[in-house]
Amino acid sequence: MAGTLNNKNAEWLTREEALSIIDRALGVISDDCYFLSDVADKADTYKDQFYYIAKKFKEDKIVLRSIKKITNKCEAIVANKTAKGDINVALGIFILKSYHGLIETSKMQYEGGDKDKPISIINLGNGLKPDE
C-alpha cells in the first residue's frame, strides 16, 4: 500500500491510546452489561475497536490481558445472572455462545440420504386410479 507507507498520520492508535480505551471500557462495565457492544457504547467507542486493538497489539501481553478482562467481566456477569435465574437461561446460553463465536444452527438429515445409507425404493404395486 503506497498510500500508507511511511505515513505516520495514518496510524493514530498508539499503545497508550489503546490502553486508554480499554480503561474507559473497564470503568463502565456494570451489572447489566451483557454484550461487548453495550460496553463499547458506554465507553464511547465501538465493539470492533476492541478486536482491532487485540489484533494490533497481539504481542503486547498487558494490552491483550486488559482486552480479555473486558470479555471475562461481561461473560462472568452473564454466567452468574443465568445461574441465579436473573436472566432467561436460553438468553444466557445464547449470549455466552456468542462470546465464543458459536451460533445456533439446526441440521436436518434425511434417512437414506447419506452416502453410506442409500435411498431404498419400495414398489407399492400398480395401485388403482381414482374414479374421475
Residues 32 and 12 sit within 8 Å (Cβ to Cβ): no
Angle at which helices 61-84 and 89-99 pack, to 10 degrees?
170
Q: pLDDT value at position 100?
A: 78
Q: What is the pTM of this model?
A: 0.64
64 class by beta-carbon count within 10 Å (0-12 exposed, 13-18 middle, 19+ buried): middle
Place of cell 473486558: 70
Residue 26 and residue 70 in contact, taking contact as beta carbons nearer than 8 Å? yes
Average pLDDT, whole number, for the chain?
A: 82
Please tell me the predicted confidence (pLDDT) of residue 127: 63
pLDDT digits (tens, 9 = 90+) for 6-62: 666 557 889 999 999 999 999 999 988 888 889 999 999 999 999 999 999 999 999
